[in-house]
Amino acid sequence: MPCFPERMRQHNRHGLLIAERLRRHAHVERVWYPKWEYCEASEAVRRRDGGYGSLVTFLPTHAEKRAAIVYDNLAVCKGPSLGTLFTLACPFTLLAHYSELDWAESCGVSRYLIRISVGLEDPDDLWRQLDAALIAT
């Protein structure tokens, strides 16, 4: 296992790579990642040689019909995380605001968000898993 600083560099590299690929995917409506969302706040606390982390949140296109399909077909471990060695996925809003979904949506937070905490696996392998889940019918 790499030392902590190297592990964080890998998480940052892999998280950014996956976030960039999700942004270009035809079946993704929107991606939330610190490089693009709240970037002024992120830049204010980011170390000069630091990255943007491994948490990536996205909304599949036609999310009302497709989010559960994408999530169920995503061949990674499921559960909330802030940085394990392996990738985890969770239906973020459902976990965080299950009893107040209407309120969350009134604040602009879709109930269909999928959050992934990108691990240290080969990012190309992870991307193949994500792509397969996104194009699943």
pLDDT, one tens digit per residue, over 88-124 is 999 999 888 989 999 999 999 999 999 999 999 999 9
pLDDT, one tens digit per residue, over 48-79 is 888 888 999 999 999 999 999 999 999 999 99
pLDDT for 137 beyond 80: no
Dist. CA 87–CA 77, nearest whole Å: 7
Residue with the bigger pLDDT between 81 and 73: it is 73
Domains (ranges, CATH) in the chain? 4-135 (3.90.1150.10)
pLDDT, one tens digit per residue, over 24-44 is 999 999 999 999 887 777 777
CA distances from 94 to 26, 50, 134 (A): 24, 31, 19
Nearest to 57 by CA among 42, 43, 45, 67: 67
Nearest to 78 by CA among 116, 123, 25: 116
